[in-house]
Amino acid sequence: MENETKYLMFDEIGELYRNPTEVKMSQIVLPCHANHCGELSAGQLLKWMDSTACLSGCKHYSQSQQSLHIKHGVSCEDLFSDRQWKVCHAFATFVARRTEAGKVQLKQVIPHTQTEQMEYSLAAERRRMRLIHAEIITDLLSSCCAQTVSECLDYQDAMPAERTRVESVELVLPPHANHQVSTFGGQIMAWMENVATISASRLCNAHPTLRSIDMFHFRGPSHIGDRLVLKAIVNNAFKKSMEVGVCAEAYKGGEPLRHINTAFMTFEVLDNDRKPCTLPRIRPEPVDGKRRFQEAIARKKIRLDRKYIISCKQCEVPLSVPWDPSNQMYLSYNNVSALKMLAARTNWVLTSEKNKVSLYTLEENQMLCFKIETQVAVAAEQAFLLLSDLRRRKAWDHHYQECEVITESNEDDTIYRVVTPSVTKGGKVQDFILLASRRRPCDSGEPYLIALRSVTLPAYPPAEDYNRGEVLCAGFSLLEEEHSLTKISYYNQATPGVLPYISTDIAGLSTSFYGTFTSCSAFLEENKDILAPLPTSAL
């Protein structure tokens, strides 16, 4: 097991450059470090990560901003086969203090390599997200209805959240303290992970697996002789995962409790094939329980944005590809092939469902894809004709404010310019340059396909009044299951320009996808006998 914080490159004279704050720690995983499954305990891993980050921070402090932002990377290796794999990564923020009261003014970190410059920029973005975290939560809760809470209260088979409540007390002894006689942060995190795991197991009646942690926030120190009161409860369950809220409070003698730490941990239950299982529903208690239930949904939405938007903005190359007559066949082929491969995936996870309109998600290789499925009483070919002309989409999709044909290269490939609303209040509207490639089935039992992806055209560069959005892979699959009964599946490999329109649905804060595709079904049924092309006035 290797736990490291480092950057490597060759300098101008060919010598290996090492960041002076780099720390690398190697540990052998022994039986005493393992959990019930024989795997490394998450609590033990947190201890090691905290120690490594602390040593890295001390290196910078000893070389002299008031805080340090440190990136972890954890990997494993099999000593017998030399196989290596990544385990996790995390970011730690440390504040340096003297023995007396007051903070230390640290020397400014100067990034030297391209990687360091990118991490430096991302650290500033993460700090901004932390500072406005509470404000974002408040905005999300005020802008979205509490429908999901009221629906959950109606579930007869839901488990009361109070049954998952766990409380434990730990005594801080000298082995638990650092050189400043304060409790090791890693030790506190390990104790918190332990009670959170017990809480999660009460919901699922199984051995849960910790998947991620949303910000351990240390609000104050604890010392030798303190009693640490650790409390945990399941805040919400999301089909295949659950969020457990956990806090640590300290006291000594007859002193009042001091709030030490808060964290939110996401757990899953894996089957024998290491795939997430469906979890029981949770019923929140009135007042505080409802608040925790809703805040858990908001945090899920924030995690989506942080993972799939913030990180992509800094390091992803443009997703659009140039289009011209010489490569139109290649682009058309790849456009359709990408949609077919996305539709063929079997590991889609049902996220939400309302009146037979289903929302699925798929997370892989730092990418998030979503699928929306429903049925409509319209022949597949008719639905294909109506949906393949994107100019008609304004009739049922409120995200399509404007749509014009730029060029029609052949009967199966058309390039459109689409204008969509702003993703932020007072922001610019977005426009997309989309290649739409449509395909009829070659054999019976195959679906009709309408594939979409972004392209670039010299005649349509990004305009100052618009934010240029990009689509990597999206489109419709239309399969006629019975006579005049078609299953419609819409796919999208979410990009920074697309995800804001759907992330509140994925997080469970709204069900706008249901309204949109209910309108789509109504539009198709109203026009199931109309085969005439779109009027010229709509161009």
How would DSSP label each residue in 139-200?
A: HHHHHS-SHHHHHHHT-TTPEEGGGG-EEEEEE--GGGB-TTSBBPHHHHHHHHHHHHHHHH
Fold: same for 1-130 and 132-315: yes
In a 3-state reduction of DSSP, which class is residue 321? strand
Contact 267, 287 (CB under 8 A): no
pLDDT of residue 20: 67
Per-domain residue ranges for the chain?
1-130, 132-315, 319-538
Distances in Å between the Cα of 400 and the Cα atoms of 127, 300, 422 are 35, 27, 11
CATH class label, 1-130:
alpha beta
Tens of pLDDT, residue by residue over 412-445, are 999 999 999 987 777 889 999 999 999 998 878 8
Q: For residues 309-319, b (16+ Cβ closer than 10 Å) or e, as one string? A: bebbeeeeeeb
Q: Could you say which residues of the chain have pLDDT below 70?
A: 1-20, 57-71, 95-107, 109, 114-126, 128-129, 132, 143-156, 305-318, 531-539
At 459 the three-state DSSP class reads: coil
Q: What is the pLDDT of residue 230?
A: 96
Domain 132-315 of CATH type 3.10.129.10: yes
In the CATH scheme, what is the code of domain 319-538? 3.30.530.20
**Residue 273 CA neighbour count, 13 Å, CB half:** 4
Strand partners, 236: 243
The answer to whether residues 32 and 55 touch, using CB atoms and an 8 Å cutoff, is no
pLDDT computed for residue 263 by the predictor: 92
Residue 26 is predicted with a pLDDT of 80
